[in-house]
Structures are given as structure tokens and as C-alpha cells.
Amino acid sequence: MAISVFDLFKVGIGPSSSHTVGPMRAAHDFVEALRARDALSRVTRVEVHLHGSLCATGVGHGTDRAVIMGLMGERPESIDPDIVPACIEELHESQTLLLGGLVPISFPWSRDMQWHEDSLDYHPNALRLIAHAHDGECYRNTYYSVGGGFVIDEAQAANGALDTDTTTLPYDFATADELLSLCRTHGLRISELMLENEKAWRDEASVRDALWHIWEAMKACVDNGLRHDGVLPGGLNVKRRASALHRRLQAAKDDTSVIASTFSAMDWVNVFALAVNEENAAGGRMVTAPTNGAAGIVPAVLHYYMRFQPGACQRDVVDFLLAAGAIGILCKKNASISGAEVGCQGEVGSACAMAAAGLAEVMGGTPAQVENAAEIGLEHNLGLTCDPIGGLVQVPCIERNAIASVKAINAAQMALGGDGEHFVSLDRVIRTMRDTGRDMQDKYKETSRGGLAVNAIEC
């Protein structure tokens, strides 16, 4: 299985990569499959069945709306988030869905949008789509949103395939130990090795341009988050804080004391992370890193570096994202980046490790120090549950990204202060995350049936 850094960093919309981006992509793929079979024009009805975690927190995550937009031919990387409310309102009023943007079919919401608490065998994020044709033929497929916007269908699941990309990479690795060995053997930094692998798909200039585009999308998300005030949608009445905090930071007088400088830097990291995750919670455009729920950590730490490091440049952005991507690939291959599968340790924990590795890389860390930074970042998120209140990616998700961003910086600093030697390897921590996720009760894995999700509600 070959995973590109661009599989981890994808432009999409909020609030969830597994519950919004993935289902929209699955529905779009289903429509394209109908089109390829020349069946699109014969369809008269489509049934949507949401299972497991997609049912438990689907309303708060906008899963139903995302599927509808996918069935209408929209894709997460290109959709304008502002059109979604009007399109859904029109569908409710007319009970007509424009399949693939072309074919009008009847779609009474209460009849054709079905919610099922049971989880299917392969993964807790399951979506089953059934299309009925006027000649009596029926087309169906089941899709699994396995985290970070990755989607596989029932045939891939039956074959045990997480991905169909079989590209041969010059420096393929499945573990951190293999990654470090390749770096030693070939005298490469982690970002250099990752760049060579990315060149299996596109030339170097295209890789650099595409990563810069990812960074521009991250910056735009931060800027949007800093501009918006008010209350986030969903009913919890959570107020946006990034804009007000940003204004206070801009208005603060110069203070040269050590403690003031330290808190100022932390405040900037916090405000960057809050801005991203408030935009995500509002359904805005953002970048999975590696998921939506943890999307604020990598950009917050990279913003921190670009703002405070003298001489920071475009090359640093590329190197940061490549090194971060290497860690994300390891987490995905050997454990999971899905909150519904292993809890928030798979989302925020992986993102913290990625950000720590990226920062250590651009600060001149050796491959061993970069691996150590990632290990520290992930180790101290082990056991983190995914228990969003009200099924919304707001509490504790938004603050959790800010806390993990600061933790990633600390992890990188600790690793850079050593020689790369450490007691527990990144591979062992990733395996521990996997095992902990398997042992974790389902109520703590993005179902909103345990933890803060229930204890924060007054009875």
C-alpha cells in the first residue's frame, strides 16, 4: 500500500474528515459508478443507510448533508461550503434530489435517509447506498470511511485492502525503524526521503507547488477563523474565541520579560489552532491534517515556526509537511487515524506526533531526533477518548487541538535537546495506540455515548 503525503493533507470541508469528507466522497463515487454503467438516467430512487458511528454522531457531524451533496455530484475538495444550507433546505421543501447534478429523483428525507445504530463488521463508519432503476434493476454498494477522508468500498474491505494504490516507491517503509534505517543507509533526512517517494507520483516542482498550495489553504483557514465572531452552529451555543484573542494579541504592548515572551508565543499557537477548529466546526473549508477533528495542530505549529523563526521560507514549509506526512503514514499503516476506531488518540495523538516531527525537522533535527519528537508527541496522548458533546466537533475538540499544538512544540524541543536515543520507540507507541484503541469501549470512540459527551449534560 502506497500512501502519499497528499492522502493525509487534503482540502475539504468541516466538521469531520471521517463523518463529512469521507461520506461525501463515497456518495460522489457511487454516482460516478452509476454513470460509468450508463445507469444514472434510469435511477428513480436512492436509499441512504448510515450505520454505527455515522449514525451515532452523524447529525452533529453533518453526515447526512454531506452524503446528499455527494449524490448531487459535489466533491469535498471543490465544493463551496456556503451553498450547502440552501441546497439542503431546497431538498427538504421539494423532496427532489438532482442526482449527479443532472437527474431529478424523488427523495423524501424521512423515507430515504435511514439511521442504524448497529455497526457493520469491517469498520464502525459505514454507509450503504442503494439505487433503484425504473426497469427494476438495483445497484448497491457499502462504503467505509476509515479516517482522514479515506474511503474503501465493500469489495476492497472483503479483500482486506485499505487502498488500491500499488505505486512502487524508491524508499518504501512500513515502520519507523525501517524509515530510520533507510535514512542512515542513504544519507537522507526524513523530508528528503519523503520527497523522493512523492516523485513516484509527480515531479519535484509539482510536489513543492502542491505542498505550498496546502499551506496556502491552511493559512486561509486560519485567516477565516480570525475574522469570524459569533456562536458556532449546532445548539451548544459555543462562542468563537480566536478572533477576540487575536485582537488582544495585536493590541498588547511590547513586553520583553521572559515569561511574557513565553506566554505570547503560546497564545499565538493557541489562537492559530482555535481559528482552524472553529472554522472546521462551522463547516468551513480546511485541510485534513490528518483528520478534520485534529486539523488545527499541524497548521498551528507551522504558523508558529513561520512567525517566530528568523529566515523561515517556502522550503521549510515543504520540509515540515513532508516530515509530518511520514509520521502520519506510519500511524495510518500500523494503527489508525480514525476516532471511531481508536478514539481521539488516533486523531489528535497522530497530529501531535506529526507536528512535533515537522518542527524538529525544520529546526535541523536528525532523523533519530525527529522520530523521538513524534514518539513523545504520541506517547503523551495515549488513551485519549473521542467523546464530543452533542456529537459536534466543538467540545472538547477545539481546545484539545490548542493543547496538543503546544504539546507538539514541547515534544520537539525535548527531542532536539537529546541525541535521538530514547527508551520507547515510535513503533512501540504506535502499536500501543492500536492496542489501546482495540481495548477501548465503543462509547469512548466517537459515539457520544460516554465520557464528557454524557457527563457534561445536566440531567
From CA 26, how far away is CA 69, in angstroms rounded? Answer: 11
* Same structural domain, 277 and 366: yes
Q: Which three cell numbers stand for residue 391?
A: 456529537
Domain hosting residue 368, numbered range? 176-455
List all residues 6 or more positions away from 225 whose beta carbon is below 8 Å from its beta carbon: 240, 242, 243, 274, 275, 276, 277, 278, 279, 284
Q: Which three cell numbers stand for residue 221?
A: 483557514
CATH number at residue 20: 3.30.1330.90
Let me know if residue 354 belongs to a domain.
yes
Residue type at 176 in one-letter notation: A
From CA 370, how far away is CA 363, in angstroms rounded? Answer: 10
* Same structural domain, 230 and 99: no
Res 360: pLDDT: 98
What per-residue string of b and e applies to 255-265 under the rule 16 or more CB within 10 Å gives b? eeeeeeeeebe
Let me know if residue 377 belongs to a domain.
yes
User: Helix, strand or coil for residue 441?
Assistant: coil
Residue type at 442 in one-letter notation: D
* Cα dihedral 203/204/210/214 (nearest 10): 150
* Same structural domain, 139 and 54: yes
| Domain end (from 124, 158, 192) | 158
Angle (CA) 117-120-124 rounded to 5° is 75
Q: What is the pTM of this model?
A: 0.92
Q: Please report the sign of the dihedral spanned by the C-alpha atoms of residue 299, residue 301, residue 307, residue 311.
A: negative
From CA 189, how far away is CA 27, in angstroms rounded? Answer: 40
Residues of the chain with pLDDT below 70 are 161-164, 253-263, 457-459
Contact in structure between 167 and 200 (CB atoms under 8 Å):
yes
From CA 276, how far away is CA 282, in angstroms rounded? Answer: 10
Let me know if residue 399 belongs to a domain.
yes
Q: Where are any strands of DSSP class E within 214-370?
A: 285-288
Let me know if residue 1 belongs to a domain.
no
Q: Which three cell numbers stand for residue 278?
A: 472553529
Res 459: pLDDT: 39
* Same structural domain, 84 and 230: no
- Name residue, grid cell 457531524: 61
Let me know if residue 109 belongs to a domain.
yes
DSSP string spanning 120-133?
PSS-SEEEEEEEEE
Count structural domains, the chain: 2
Mean pLDDT computed over every residue of the chain:
94
Res 259: pLDDT: 55
pLDDT in tens, 250-264: 888 666 565 556 668
* Same structural domain, 44 and 70: yes
Let me know if residue 5 belongs to a domain.
no
Let me know if residue 28 belongs to a domain.
yes
* Same structural domain, 183 and 321: yes
* Same structural domain, 349 and 244: yes
H helices present in 241-311, as ranges: 242-251, 258-281, 297-308
Q: Can you say how many angstroms the Cα of residue 355 is from the centroid of all Cα atoms in its chain?
A: 13
- Could you tell me which of 260, 254, 265, 299 has the C-alpha nearest to residue 279? 299
Let me know if residue 166 belongs to a domain.
no
The values of phi and psi at residue 398, to 5°, are -65, -50
* Same structural domain, 111 and 225: no
